[in-house]
Structure 1
Amino acid sequence: GKWFVSLVCEVEIQPLPVREQTIGIDVGLKHLAVTSDDEVVANPRHTRRYEQQLAKWQRRMSRRMRGGSNWHRAKIKVAR
């Protein structure tokens, strides 16, 4: 049930243009990043959804009979 993919490509890397302006970036918990010119990047909080799914599958696994086929299916979901 596992797939592995390997991609290889050759690309010419072009240098970035030189700029006079510099900014500072503050990384935090409430906001993902805040720049010195007051641009705020929101924190997407992807892990929150996965925490909720994990809790759901752990509850299902606890209600199943240990060692049964449905318990093994729930155990695979928890492990993922």
Structure 2
Amino acid sequence: MLGAAFNRTTLLSHPEQPTTEPGEFYRTELTNHYAKAMHEATEDGKAYGFAFDDVADFASYVQDTAPTGLRLTLTAF
């Protein structure tokens, strides 16, 4: 959470972490401009712009926190 707060520049302005409002991210001059550009370039605002970008579900991968099964299909190369 602290890594995300540092990268999103929300640690000083929001004492409770994680900050879940993307409109509050990257609002200061000293911020992770690369991650900001990555998030602005995606349709849903989700991207993996830094190592802790999955905090508060802002990464671009798909996850299921309550799976009920798994199917693995392997095909010949």
Query: How high is the TM-score relative to the length of structure 2?
Result: 0.21
The structure showing larger relative contact order (alpha-carbon pairs under 8 Å, at least 6 residues apart) is 2
Q: Which has the higher strand share?
A: 1
Normalization by structure 1: what TM-score?
0.20
* Larger helix fraction of residues: 1
User: Which structure has the larger Rg over C-alpha atoms?
Assistant: 1
